[in-house]
Structure 1
Amino acid sequence: MVRTRGDLPPAAAPTTHQAQLFGLFRVVRDGSPLGDPAWGRASARTLLKWFLLNPGQRFRPTELSEVLWPGCTRSPANRLHVTQHALRHALEPELPSRRPSTFIRSDADGRSWFDPGDRWWTDVDEVARLAKAARAAQDGGDTAAAITCYERMLAHYSRGFLPEDLYEDAFTPFRTAHDLAHSETLRRLLRLYRGTGQRYEALNCAMGILDRDPYSEEAVVSVVEVQVEQGCVTAAISELERFVRTVERDLGTPPSRELLTLQERVRHAR
């Protein structure tokens, strides 16, 4: 069954920890959400987000401090130690004080990294898995499976990537990558809907693309063609003329030959 809202997996999933980075950040441990009191400090939440996005990558204390307190000129060593301690306690509250963390590791050079092992599920990893499965399905000619994967990806993307950290520069590269992937997923899904004759779904998908990119010729062509197929020729002409005016006004670009040909064809469809 498709989880249309990008929900976390059920507690029966074969992991002990699940994290949601699309939508408001949320962590579930052994089936129970970690509330604000469990974190001890906000920097522990930020550090976990960074670790989950960079599993296995080793970071020097100065690098982690720049993520947590960008531009801070004071020595961050003690603050970082306290933050890491708070994170260890939040993730494994039963861990004895001198026992090493299962997830937060360090080496002789003082670098730290996050080792999720096989105990973590994240929606970011799930999206990557779905993208790989969708491409494999397309390559194998299984259009229905590809559509299902892309729809599940959109359910995650629609929640927004870490909206509570919209102005955190450390997460900007990840946000940009997911925004690009979101747009590409919409385009791929639009082509699949059109190829399988799913007019309503194609129309909604094309409108979603135009919400993100009002200058997408591919999307407006799909909108117009679906409207013509549905017999809404007047609406199709209006949509096409509006798009041509917008592109000419905002971009100073004349309509392409393809658009002019479509415009003529639609007018003759009356």
Structure 2
Amino acid sequence: MTSAETEFPGPEWARPRGREQGATYRAYLFGPFRVFKGTEALGQRRHRREKALLLLKWFLLNPGKPVSMDQLIDIGWQDTAPEKAASGFHVGMHCLRRMLEPDLRPGQESSFIHRSGTSFYRFEPGEGWWSDAHDVERLFEQARAGDAHGDARRACFYYSRVAAYTVRRFLEDEESQQRWLAPYRRQYEGLCSQALIRLIQIHSARGELDEALEYAYEKLRLDPYNELAVGTIIEAHLQLGRPDDALRQLSLFLSSVERDLGAVAGRGLLALRERLTAAPPLASAGG
């Protein structure tokens, strides 16, 4: 066994979904927000639990990070009078503790939510928790490790699982919480974007045309002005002997960049257009 192989985790990472299936608590932040304890869905959308779920979202995105009561109030009660905001916060925190651990006795400490001083809190999920947001980070680090060791197979294995999260938008039903969620959304969308780019690059370099095209089209769906993706698609048309389709796709892309962004595409695509327009027409497939 090589030293590169020994740096990868054990059998649990051969089956990435094993962690999800074995967790007591499972939280999903891609798509609509959902939390399960076993098979039970927690915090159904009752009005009194809305704030408890908001607190849980913040904790899941910041595990182990101390936060003050005032900071949490600024997220969930920013439009509420100060005296009512503090009362609402304590109600929401009590509801969250009970939601996660219904059998807590009065005065008993939560297993997950810890208070320090008079107004600081932190969330310690422990081994019994799994979230797709944390899963993206772990998978991406595994992909980068494979990349760094020149192991394209492992890198693509993990990058493809990160890219799979692009199907659902991060916390897609939280439009009213755009301000505080914005940096987290950028972070996770950035990881997925980087994964797609590396998948396109690795599969293109390996001559794996179908895979490169699959991820190029997915990247173009998320970012209609991505030059790497459109360049990959155009080169694929050329390899398949379809120069007319390549030129048509390139012309549409260059026009949309100029029309929608008021910009000019990069030199690589412009040089590709010159190459295509200057090339003599190819013989038909039959010839």
Specify if TM > 0.5.
yes
- Contact 1:2/1:152, CA 8 A, preserved across alignment: no
Q: 1:23 pairs with 31, 45, 50, which one?
A: 31
Alignment equivalent of 1:221, drawn from 227, 231, 243: 231
Is residue 175 of structure 2 the alignment partner of residue 166 of structure 1? Answer: yes
* C-alpha distance in 1 between matches for 2:45 and 2:254: 54
How far 1:212 moved relative to its partner? 2.5
1:131 aligned onto 2:143: no
Asked if the contact 1:203–1:223 (Cα under 8 Å) also holds between the matched residues in 2, the reply is yes
Alignment check: 8 A CA contact 1:228 1:266 kept:
no
| Contact 2:234-2:249 at 8 Å conserved across structures | yes
Q: Give the aligned CA root-mean-square deviation in angstroms.
A: 2.4
> Structure 1 residues 203 and 143 mapped into 2: Cα distance closer, same or farther (>3 Å)?
same
Task: Decide whether aligned partners of structure 1 residues 183 and 107 sit closer, same or farther in structure 2, where only a CA change above 3 A counts.
Answer: same
Partners of 1:37 and 1:212 in 2: CA distance = 30
Return the offset for 1:53.
Answer: 0.6
Distance 2:212 2:124 in 1: 41
AA partner of residue 190 (structure 2): L
CA distance in 1: counterparts of 2:266 and 2:119, whole angstroms:
58
Matched, 1:247 2:257: yes
**SS state at 1:234 partner:** helix
Following TM superposition, by how much is the alpha carbon of 1:146 offset from its aligned partner in structure 2, in angstroms? 0.9
Paired AA for residue 140 in structure 1: H
Partner of 2:66: 58
Distance 1:2 1:249, change over 3 A: farther
Deviation at 1:261, TM superposition (A): 2.7
- The 5 A counterparts of 1:48-197 are 48-75=56-83, 76-168=85-177, 169-197=179-207
- The 1:40–1:256 alpha-carbon spacing in structure 2 relative to 1, beyond 3 Å, is closer
TM-score between the two structures when normalised by the length of structure 1: 0.89
Aligned residues: 265
8 Å CA contact 1:210, 1:216 repeated in 2:
yes
Structure 1, gaps ≥5 residues long: none
Which deviates the most, 53-62 or 256-265? 256-265
SS at match of 1:105: strand
Q: Is the 8 A contact 1:8 1:123 kept in 2?
A: no
Q: CA deviation at 1:129?
A: 0.5
Gaps of 5+ in 2: 1-13, 283-287
